[in-house]
A and B are shown apart, each in its own frame.
Chain A
Amino acid sequence: MKKSFASPSRALALAGIIGIAGAGSASYALGALDPAVALSCDPTSASDIKESTSFTPYEDRLTQIPLQPINPEELARSDESVGPAILDALEVAWSVASKGGRSTTYYASRALEPKTTAEDLFAAGGLVLDVEPSDPLAGSYLEAIKAELQERVTSVRLGTLDAGLVWGDPMSNGVRPHVLIWVEGGQNFTLTGERLGHDMVNIGRGIVC
């Protein structure tokens, strides 16, 4: 299952120059690109993102199970993964997909070792893009996460799409990943990595726009 990352901003630009001919004469309707859309594809900065400062320290968790390695059996990457070949200058290090349509792609500067955990990956600057079909019985994935996490979700825009930015709690190695969540084309997208919040939004805009 491959996804084409079409640009909604380009689609709108094309609609703006398609002419509408009136009877007996030629007329044109030229529309300008919606400024809000243009802004939501341009890079954002830290001052544009206002996040909650709340978090739970790792030592305050009741359960603290160590993470399992991502690919301990060194399986070959899936051919069914969904996601760009390059993300934030990182190549695909591994990917896994299911018959149910869910796909997880790991981006890193080097191949995953058998013992590499997500904590290791994030600490080294890696990214994880998870894509799954939206469940029509679950309602909006984004709205459900907002209801679950409340003030921990900051509303942001990716092009024409609403999205949610979450600054996660510290992991056992101190890493605090950001998580970007959006829904597009009947699929739920979750992007996770240790980036500043606005950098995460810009990576998301690079995917969507």
Chain B
Amino acid sequence: MLGAMLASVLFASLTLAAEFTTGQHNNFIQGVRGNQGIRTNPATVNGVAFIHLGQLFLDANGNFIGVGTYKGRNTVGGTTNCPSHYGGDWTGYYDRVVAMVYACSDFCVDCWDTGDNPSFKIEWASCLPQPVSRWVVTFAGTNRACISGPSSGIGGSAGLEVVGTTNDYNIDAKWTNMQQRPQGGTFWGCYDSRPGQEAPDYTYQYVNTTVLGTRTSLR
């Protein structure tokens, strides 16, 4: 019997060390990076998007920079951002909300499969060859975008998402080498990470400050 599933989200948030008792952050961050270990490659379902996502939150308002892989898509009314890909493998994407405006772009269609472990990085750095600072989005070692915005963020995250209605979804990713760079610093380090949000049928395995596993349950 098919059941309707709402868009549900699992992600784990890497946050700064919570060593403060007032609204005083030790530092905001200017970078998040890691590896996205892909462990499944489900058949696509019409109207459903499967997503492995990494994000850097620019603030608590909902502004962020994101990068990862996806497959499927289509929404009611069609899409104006990130087209549908119902092919065999995972497609790269980056998206952002800046000044509360959303945009999404895809790159390298069907480039990643089960067993791949592409790196990702979102960092406030020089947008080469221009000597101007922007949010530089890197995936699998290649710069994919330079995005404007405030020069710091409040935290990073990594996880899975299914958007759409499906009764058969099998996404499993292991995130490794997760690190953050504090504002003004050059050192990439590990900070206290904490679970984010979990939806029914999603699981989260916190291994340590740099490794976490995320998956959806098989039905």
A interface residues with partner B (beta carbon < 8 Å): 56-57, 59-68, 70-71, 73, 75-81, 94-100, 102, 104, 117-119, 128, 130, 132, 135, 137-139, 141, 144-145, 147-149, 152-153, 166, 168-169, 171, 176-177, 179, 181, 188, 190, 192
Q: Are B62 and A78 in contact (CB under 8 A)?
A: no
Q: Interface size bucket, B side?
A: 35 or more
Tell me the complex Cα distance, A194–B82, Å: 27
Contacts of A176 in B (CB 8 A): 100
The reply to whether the CB of B208 lies closer than 8 angstroms to some CB of chain A is no
Contacts of B148 in A (CB 8 A): 138, 141, 144-145, 147-148
B interface residues with partner A (beta carbon < 8 Å): 7, 9, 11, 13, 18, 20-28, 49, 51, 53, 55, 57, 59-62, 64, 66, 70, 73, 75-82, 93, 95, 97-104, 126, 131-134, 147-152, 157, 159, 161, 163, 183-184, 196-197
B49 to chain A, nearest CB (A): 6
Q: Are A67 and B62 in contact (CB under 8 A)?
A: yes
A66 to chain B, nearest CB (A): 6
A53 to chain B, nearest CB (A): 13
A-B contact count (CB 8 A): 177
3 closest residue pairs by CB, A with B? A168-B100, A78-B23, A96-B23
Q: Are A138 and B51 in contact (CB under 8 A)?
A: no
Q: Are B73 and A71 in contact (CB under 8 A)?
A: no
Tell me the complex Cα distance, A77–B22, Å: 6
Tell me the complex Cα distance, A135–B53, Å: 28
Q: Are A65 and B9 in contact (CB under 8 A)?
A: yes
Tell me the complex Cα distance, A102–B60, Å: 13
Closest to B157 in A: A65
Contacts of A192 in B (CB 8 A): 61, 100
Q: Are A66 and B82 in contact (CB under 8 A)?
A: no
Neighbour of A62 across the interface among B25, B49, B76, B196, CB < 8 A = B49
Q: Are A118 and B25 in contact (CB under 8 A)?
A: no
Known: A61-B95, A132-B151. 16 other contacts (CB 8 A): A62-B95, A65-B159, A68-B196, A76-B22, A97-B23, A98-B183, A99-B26, A100-B28, A119-B62, A128-B59, A130-B150, A138-B132, A145-B149, A148-B147, A166-B99, A169-B100
Tell me the complex Cα distance, A179–B101, Å: 10
Tell me the complex Cα distance, A117–B57, Å: 14
Q: Are A137 and B131 in contact (CB under 8 A)?
A: yes
B77 to chain A, nearest CB (A): 6
Tell me the complex Cα distance, A166–B103, Å: 14
